[in-house]
């Protein structure tokens, strides 16, 4: 039984991540979550789910860099050692490729991180029934404790 629950949970996480990758709301999958480019639209225009990235704000950039760097490294190897274009052509191809790949991946990574954080918040709220959830005004238990920690610093 617990395996079934874990399997169902993983499927839901994968589905949420896929919806986030498509820049859609991780809950309903149809409302735009990351529009027009990197702005998180909260609440969702279809289901009204409040969406935000609070804890993992730098992770979309990190994951984008972790993908773009090896792809560009492979492109440098192939272009420089196999095709041998002149320096200006090589630079132009790499610069345009790097910028285009970053602009393509960054909003999708942000959507996936948003979905992951949304999923984690829901799991925490489900395991803590006394919590009010993370509402639109951010009055979740976690948010309150964060404020208390920040004020004590
Ligand atoms: Zn939605």
Give, as residue ranges, everything with CB less than 5 Å from ion ligand 1. 25, 27-28, 31, 44, 46-47, 49
Domain assignment present for residue 135? The answer is: no
Q: Distance from the CA of 111 to the center of ligand 1, in angstroms?
A: 13
Confidence band (pLDDT; 50, 70, 90) for 150?
very low
Neighbouring C-alpha atoms within 13 Å toward the C-beta of 55 = 11
Domain assignment present for residue 44? The answer is: yes
pLDDT tens digit sequence for 59-107: 999 999 999 999 999 999 999 899 999 999 999 999 999 999 999 999 9
Domain assignment present for residue 148? The answer is: no
Domain assignment present for residue 85? The answer is: yes
Q: Distance from the CA of 141 to the center of ligand 1, in angstroms?
A: 22
Q: Distance from the CA of 22 to the center of ligand 1, in angstroms?
A: 13
- Residue-range definition of the domain harbouring residue 88: 2-129
Q: Where is mean pLDDT largest: 1-15, 30-44, 51-65, 101-115?
A: 101-115
Put simply, whether the predicted model's pTM sits higher than 0.85 gets the answer: no
Dmax (CA) of the chain? 65
Domain assignment present for residue 88? The answer is: yes
- Rounded Cα distance between 24 and 112, Å, is 9
Report the pLDDT value the prediction gives residue 143, as an integer from 0 to 100. Answer: 42
């Amino acid at each position: 039984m617990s395996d079934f629950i874990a399997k169902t949970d993983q499927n839901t996480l994968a589905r949420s991540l896929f919806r986030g990758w498509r820049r859609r709301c991780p809950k309903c999958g149809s409302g735009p979550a990351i529009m027009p480019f990197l702005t998180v639209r909260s609440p969702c225009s279809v289901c009204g789910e409040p969406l935000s990235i609070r804890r993992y704000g730098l992770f979309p950039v990190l994951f984008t860099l972790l993908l773009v760097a090896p792809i560009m490294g492979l492109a440098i190897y192939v272009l420089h050692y196999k095709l041998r274009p002149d320096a200006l052509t090589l630079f132009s191809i790499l610069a345009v490729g790097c910028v285009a790949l970053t602009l393509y991946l960054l909003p999708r990574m942000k959507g996936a991180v948003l979905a992951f954080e949304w999923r984690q918040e829901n799991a925490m709220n489900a395991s803590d029934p006394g919590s009010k959830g993370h509402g639109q005004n951010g009055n979740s238990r976690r948010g309150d404790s964060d404020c208390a920690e920040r004020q004590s610093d």
